[in-house]
Structure 1
């Protein structure tokens, strides 16, 4: 049988993603299924004969009977051989340490009559528990289908899986249950609720009978689960659990600042030198100015924060790989319920630390519409990675680099505070939406705690590569476009307005270097003020002046409505227009020296800096997120409400912050 396309199917937390990573490596692509916001991960690998096989990583599901959008996507693929994602072979990945529960999905798929291979993942953990599986007997009792033992985290057994795919031959199909849910015409049918329960009960009974013949305990179990349980008594404690989680967060943000400082400084200087080289190498003209003052600083304004974003993603991946993130979900569930959030809301809220878009997509696992809608409405308040560049830039400008109690970095502490502020705001907003949106439905969080594991660095590396690539590529395209537009608007103005304003500046009588430099700075400032973007910023200034912002910040507020991280590249472009880059001043240094001509104070001081951070903590400045909310709620009502309430909250909170500290 010629296999050209396979699909990985399995329960959540069965290790399916690890199998996908081991098969495809970095040869992956992430998109969406047509018409829905469900993630579609595809990749490929080569067989021994050099033939390429496409791999589709289907969403994790517990049953083929669809209750969520994830399960419906899988069902529609299973039920339609003409679907473009329908594979030649289904590879069902199960957790070997929980065979009885995991085999339920396998039996449902098997009874659909599809070509299938069973992968027993985490086989090494089963051996550690002193349990032996008779793989050949299991294959025979399940209908003579190929069974491949595997340890995806270490890559052991991947070659056997590839060989099983290469050698696969369809055998005579025998249904697992005599009463199959396939009609005489061959179409897959859905069972009613009562039929589902009866069907599931029959399947579990037969699975238990089969496992009696295939599983055998040979040695006393090791203490892995016992050790996990003992650790859980501490990390999931109703009091100490929260303290430990807060301490871990504090250490993460301290490490982000300490470890990222050197590469960030290096990147900042690299882009400064690059702008200098462009100015000195290319012939003078509009094109050279566009590259040196627009494109290079704009891209540099994002790339400089890649080290911090990589570290954030790395720490999150480590927490997930070790199994600690599941404990966080568990302890946070207790905290969520009084605020009207579903226990499953914890996952989107924590995922929102990386990006609100996949976090909002993750809410489709919440069955109750009210709980799901509340989660969608408050998730963007959690500080995502796009806010991280804004925070770190403003913290570098306004927060002194000091240590507290001899070991705690003040800047890292402020960064942690911004993330906690986002969570607190999400909880408060959830209470309000709980009162607005009425429902009598009750929900429960049911989850299984995985045992603690040593993280596999290869898996973490692939995760970092994919997430960082998506962040840089998605942000880079937007930033490139906005940087070009912003540079044009900042370099040109109506008619001869700029020329008249510049000619009104008296030329220095003194021919000293300092006098010439002062004159050039005045020219640059006047040119920017009289450009199209300067005029727009000046018109906005009265509205944002009570928050401590000037017209230049106003420009960045407007452009960053496309995406929050654009704020940094916008500031980089604004403070680069007209620069000759000969004084070795980086973007941060130029911003630190900016003086408000009205007050005579620095534009970026403690009051204005914290006010701006608070504004970005609450403001809905991400068009992509609004688009996803519209798609998830099937209405413009909720994203527009989200835009209004978050912008109002951001303005009021920034106003209070600035006027309290001023």
Structure 2
């Protein structure tokens, strides 16, 4: 989506589009949404038609869309004197695509993406793996190995910062390797809770565990966090390549984390006030 903004001729409009693109709900969020919704939202019908869990998922999608529109509106107000830029596109002659040409085009675009972004993603992924794996658990340790790693220590420090929005130290630890991609957070939580299963089995075992140890307010806060938080290294790397520097990726990361924290804080406090603690 970020690379597709190249079709926007005006740099300011293109930059705003890049900045709000991470707010659009992607498939990487779905494992986290599915885990939390299944664990905390009851399976019941609303109004005799709608499923409550489905409504919550729809609300998460809608929250991302509305937030993107709001951020774009604020950016537009900040540059009121820029003037409107008409969109003019010359449409090509449409023909049925040839499979060979389509395959070559896809292959070339994939190679371009890997050359431009793959190196950054690989480097950061290796770093996150190192933080999550070293140092190993000492002899006689009773907790999961990740608790004794650098990521575990970082998570323990982050727990102080994230306590106002209801995040436990387990959640904070999972957020560190989860920076590689949002869906990694589910596996990281499974590691923190010392589950031997992986994939769907880990999610199935995690549901009852977190339902018994987290409050509804914490779950809602984490759901809202994942609407905004830019926990996707590939997205940040793509923004860096498209803007030719680290200025705008850092600005984007900062404002999205700020939005995530503020929205989670409000959600957590409202849920506590309504008895969700």
In 2, Cα distance between equivalents of 1:485 and 1:534: 12
Confirm or deny: 8 A CA contact 2:132 2:149 kept in the other structure.
no
Larger Rg: 1
1:587 corresponds to: 202
Q: Which runs of 5+ in 1 are unaligned?
A: 1-358, 449-458, 503-522, 596-600
1:323 — aligned with what?
A: none
CA contact 2:5–2:17 (8 Å) conserved in 1: yes
Residue 576 of structure 1 and its aligned partner are, at CA, apart by: 3.5
Equivalent pair of 2:158/2:172 in contact (CA under 8 Å) = yes
- Secondary structure of the 2:213 match is coil
Conserved 8 A contact 2:133-2:146: no
With CA pairs under 8 Å and 6+ residues apart, which has the higher RCO, 1 or 2? Answer: 2
CA distance in 2, matches of 1:367, 1:492: 51
Whether 1:562 aligns to 2:177 is no
3-state SS of paired residue (2:237): helix
Residue 530 to residue 364, structure 1, CA distance change in 2 (3 Å): closer
Contact 1:483 1:573 in 2 (8 A): no
3-state DSSP class of the match of 1:563? coil
Partner of 1:552 in structure 2?
170
Distance 1:592 1:441 in 2: 49
Does the alignment pair 1:379 with 2:24? no
For residues 536 and 412 of structure 1, the distance between their equivalents in structure 2, rounded to whole angstroms, comes to: 35
Alignment of 1:389-400 (within 5 A): 389-400=31-42
1:148-159 alignment, distance < 5 Å: none
Within the alignment, does 1:433 sit opposite 2:51 as a pair? no
The question of whether the paired residues in 1 share the 8 Å contact of 2:181 and 2:232 is answered with yes
Shift of 1:627: 1.7
Structure 2 match to 1:623? 233
Pairwise CA distance, 1:604: 3.1
SS at match of 1:386: helix
How far apart in 1 are the matches of 2:219 and 2:43?
15
User: Which residue is equivalent to 1:443?
Assistant: 86
Seen in structure 2, the aligned counterparts of structure 1 residues 484 and 531 have a Cα distance that, compared at 3 Å, is closer
Question: What whole-Å deviation, never above 9, does each CA across 1:426-448 have from its counterpart, x for those lacking one?
Answer: 01111221133452242247799
Q: 1:486 to 1:394 in 2, by over 3 A?
A: farther
The 1:544/1:619 distance shift into structure 2, 3 A limit, reads same
* Displacement after TM superposition at 1:615 (Å): 0.6
Which residue of 123, 136, 142 corresponds with 1:492? 136
Trace 1:132-151 onto structure 2 (pairs within 5 A).
none
Coordinate RMSD, CA, aligned = 3.4
CA contact (8 A) 2:174 2:189 kept: yes
- In the TM superposition, structure 1's runs of 4+ consecutive aligned residues that sit over 6 Å from their partners are 445-448, 480-484
Q: Tell me if structure 2 keeps the 8 A contact 1:617–1:650.
A: yes
Specify whether residues 654 and 540 from structure 1 end up closer, same or farther in structure 2 by C-alpha distance, changes over 3 A only: same
Distance 1:527 1:422 in 2: 35
**Cα distance between partner residues in 2 of 1:592 and 1:566:** 16
Is contact 1:575–1:590 with CA below 8 Å preserved after alignment? no
Give the drift of 1:563: 1.5
Aligned residues: 245
Q: What's 1:652 paired with?
A: 262
Shifted more, 382-391 versus 430-439: the winner is 430-439
Runs of 5+ in structure 2 lacking a partner? 92-98, 111-117, 273-277
Q: Is the 8 A contact 1:368 1:443 kept in 2?
A: no
Equivalent in 383, 403, 409 of residue 51 of structure 2:
409
The offset of 1:406, in angstroms, is 2.6
Contact 1:398–1:604 under 8 Å retained in 2: no
TM-score (norm 1): 0.33
